[in-house]
Amino acid sequence: MTIMPRQKILRLILGDQLNEKHSWFKTPDRQVTYVMMEIRQETDYVKHHIQKVAAFFAAMRAFAKRLGALGHRVVYLKLDDPKNHQTIADNIAYLLHKKKFTHFEYLLPDEYRLDAQLREIVEKLPIPHQVADTEHFLTERQELEKFFAGKKRFLMESFYRWMRKRYNIMMDNQQPVGGQWNYDQKNRQAYDNKMPIPKPLLFKNDVSDIDRTIRKNRVKTFGEIVPEKLIWPVTRDQALALLKAFVKDGLPAFGTYQDAMTAKSWFLFHSRISFAMNTKLLHPLEVIETAVNAWAKKKPKISIQQIEGFVRQILGWREYMRGIYWSLMPDLASMNYFKHATALPDFYWTGETRMNCLRMAIEQSLKHAYAHHIQRLMVTGNFALLAGVHPADVDDWYLGVYIDAIQWVELPNTRAMSQFADGGLVATKPYISSAKYIHSMSDYCETCEYDWKKRHGDMACPFNSLYWDFFARHRKNLQNNPRVAMMYRVWDRMDRVAQKEILKQAAVYKKNLNQL
Ligand SMILES: Cc1cc2nc3c(=O)[nH]c(=O)nc-3n(C[C@H](O)[C@H](O)[C@H](O)COP(=O)(O)OP(=O)(O)OC[C@H]3O[C@@H](n4cnc5c(N)ncnc54)[C@H](O)[C@@H]3O)c2cc1C
Ligand code: SF4
């Protein structure tokens, strides 16, 4: 009888792979050791918000502890551990050599960068390796590309309908429950004080130790933190509690006010579960099912427009953006359709601007590492696009500032959707607006030093002249787009003197972006 040598397997868990329901963790196995690592490779590839780094490390530490409690063997390398070699490649090489592992396994990373790196690492390994799925997403990496094969545009709506049918979410014999797929028209209300804004469930995670380590090791970060009270969920129990709180308090008005912005609240009726989902503490299907079940039970309180609006975000937008990422990478990361080259204004890092909408959105981003979707798209993103900021600068800011920012979801949202740098594969027209939209969807203009009604002259709102200047300077790229043709007709009919004044005003503002 031949005796098989005992296998010793090393399994890598990345910081956004905290899915305790994964089949890897079904039963503890003494032949398997899991490794998790806090590394400079990940803290330094972009400048991150301090809360983002702290929340990732706190969630990773809690996950390692949880695995240990479930009986799994875990090696956890803290940032300042002398044995930590600070890159995945070096740590893996060190552990394989030191502990004589016979096999190496990892979970499919969500970022192109890490995917390439891990493939390179395993190619050079002297031992066998295996890759497993994260069992998190509802579509395969390349599925969206196949779905849209041969199409010029990737329309989210058709993908979303297909996903509803495929997962049988709110369906009745292949037709949407309620008879409509889309309630967007009803879901575009400004906040009118009719529904009280819920009190947020904020956690008080003490991350002082992590905060000290980050600072002692001179990791470059920005933004604010109260290290004794990190508000973000770092365990599955906390993530579930946040989901429960949202379903009870936010969901009943989610759809109605999903595009609203107000100085009264930094999150309104939004769920704030993106960090929990992106680290995989929560599974998208359990989020959808929890919300749909609540709707089914409390129909008069939670109307169909609310639940449909929410399901669309996760079953539709989130999976769609991931598919876009994998079908357009690596090219997406360098696309710049408008050839924009301006540097990101300094106030994105400080919030010091007289433009109230930008000040509010940026200040809360620096304070909480969070802004809701319409602030990201129609305030900070809108302004960067109108001002002609280089998409690489815009990406670095979004990737650094938000608690939920991981490249697979940040990049398609920023470069493609918000900056139109893909030339319109994702969005059918650039997401830009003048002050009129911001005024109609928020109360920011009421207390702003600028006048939202003025296009030029003293304290004219910068969004107005920059808006028309954008159309004028990108005429070649845009005039044949049927979705914006109307704006060119308005511009062409405008009085010549007014046009000249607007462009003159825009030129002054573009020259003095940092002083706005
Ligand atoms: C310029 C820009 C950059 C963005 N960067 C990120 C990012 O780095 N990480 C990230 O998770 N989201 C990003 N988004 C999408 C969206 O703004 C956030 O998911 C959302 O604001 C997170 O807050 P929430 O959990 O309260 O979301 P809610 O409004 O409560 O929505 C529920 C969930 O739906 C999902 N979702 C909603 N919209 C999108 C979308 N467009 N793409 C993907 N998922 C979506 C998220 O998982 C979110 O948690 C970005 C959007 C824009 C316009
Ligand atoms: S007036 Fe202009 S700058 Fe001020 S809040 Fe309104 S849109 Fe923003």
Sign of the C-alpha dihedral, residues 284, 289, 294, 296?
A: positive
338, pLDDT greater than 80: yes
- Which of 111, 404, 417, 419 has most ligand 1 atoms within 8 Å of CB, for mutation? 404
Q: How close is the Cα of 117 to the center of ligand 1, in Å?
A: 26
- Distance CA(416)–CA(324), nearest Å, equals 9
Closest C-alpha among 156, 46, 50 to residue 397: 46
Relative to beta strand 9-12, strand 175-176 is unpaired
For the CA of 407, the nearest ligand: 1
**Looking at residue 382, what is its pLDDT?**
98
DSSP characters for 185-248?
Answer: TTT-PPP-SSSPPPPP----B--HHHHHHHHHTT--EES---TT-B-S--SHHHHHHHHHHIII
pLDDT of residue 152: 79
Res 5: pLDDT? 61
Q: Which amino acid is at 12?
A: L
Cα of 437 vs centre of ligand 2, distance in Å, is 10
358 Cα to the center of ligand 1, angstroms: 18
State the pLDDT confidence band at 286, using cuts at 50, 70 and 90: very high
Ligand 1 proximity of 401 Cβ (cutoff 6 Å): no
Does the pLDDT of residue 1 top 70, yes or no? no
> Does any ligand 2 atom lie closer than 6 A to the CB of residue 448?
yes
Region 84-89: mean pLDDT is: 96
> How many other CB atoms are there within 10 angstroms of residue 185's CB atom?
8
- pLDDT at site 186: 81
Among all ligands shown, which has an atom nearest to the Cα of 439? Answer: 2
Report pLDDT for 300: 78
pLDDT value at position 187? Answer: 81
Query: Which residue from 440, 446, 448, 513 has its CB within 8 A of the most atoms of ligand 2, so it is best to mutate?
Result: 448
Q: Tell me, what amino acid is at 21?
A: K
Residue 181 confidence (pLDDT): 94
409 CB near ligand 1 (under 6 Å): yes
The protein residue whose alpha carbon is closest to atom 37 in ligand 1 is 313
**Largest pairwise CA distance in the chain:** 95
Strand order in the sheet with 129-132: 73-77, 32-37, 9-12, 103-107, 129-132
Mean pLDDT across the stretch 78-92? Answer: 96
What pLDDT is attached to residue 185? Answer: 79
pLDDT of res. 231: 98
- Residue 421 in contact with ligand 1 by CB distance below 6 A: no
Residue whose CA is at the smallest distance from ligand 1 atom 5: 410
- Would the CB of 463 count as within 6 Å of ligand 2? yes
C-alpha distances in Å from residue 30, one per residue of 8, 11, 74, 133: 9, 12, 11, 22
Name the average pLDDT for the chain.
95
Percent of the chain with pLDDT over 70: 99
Is the pLDDT score of 3 beyond 70? no
From the CA of 443, the nearest ligand is 2
Instruction: Assign 194 a pLDDT band (cuts: 50, 70, 90).
Output: very high
235 CB-side CA count, 13 A: 13
Average pLDDT of 102-107?
A: 96
Contacts of 308 (CB under 8 A, 6+ apart): 170, 176, 178, 180, 181, 182, 183, 255
- How many whole angstroms from 81 Cα to the centroid of ligand 1? 34
**Is the CB–ligand 1 distance for residue 380 below 6 Å?**
no
Nearest ligand 2 atom to the CA of 438 is: 7
Rg over CA atoms, the chain:
24
Mean pLDDT, rounded, for 222-241:
98
Gap from CA of 265 to ligand 1 centroid (Å): 17
**Whose Cα sits closest to atom 6 in ligand 2?**
445
Per residue in 343-352, pLDDT (tens digit) is 999 999 999 9
Question: Ligand 1 in contact with 271 (CB < 6 A)?
Answer: yes
d(CA 103, CA 415): 39
Spatial neighbors of 75 by CB under 8 A, at least 6 apart, are: 33, 34, 35, 36, 95
Q: Is residue 166 scored above 70 in pLDDT?
A: yes
Candidates 157, 259, 373, 403: which one to mutate for ligand 1, based on the most atoms within 8 Å of Cβ? 373
Mean pLDDT, residues 299-326 taken together: 94
Distance from Cα 50 to the centre of ligand 2, integer Å: 29
Percent of the chain with pLDDT over 90: 92
| Confidence (pLDDT) at 153 | 82
Q: Whose CA is nearest to atom 7 of ligand 2?
A: 435
Average pLDDT over residues 270-291: 98
Q: In one letter, which amino acid is 139?
A: T
Mean pLDDT of 248-272: 96
Position 4 scores a pLDDT of 57
Residues 12-39: pLDDT tens digits?
999 999 999 999 999 999 999 999 999 9
Residue nearest to atom 1 of ligand 1 (CA): 414
Work out the average pLDDT over 452-467.
Answer: 97
Please give the pLDDT value at position 335.
97
Query: Which residue in 84, 71, 81, 129 sits closest to 102, CA to CA?
Result: 129
Distance 462 CA to ligand 1 centre (A): 27
CA of 319 to the centre of ligand 2 (A): 33
At residue 453, the pLDDT reads 97
pLDDT for res 299: 78
Sorted by sequence, the CB contacts under 8 Å of residue 507 that are 6+ apart come out as 469
Mean pLDDT computed over 454-468: 97
In the predicted structure, residue 385 carries a pLDDT above the cut 70: yes
- Give the pLDDT mean for 435-449: 97
Ligand 1 proximity of 314 Cβ (cutoff 6 Å): yes
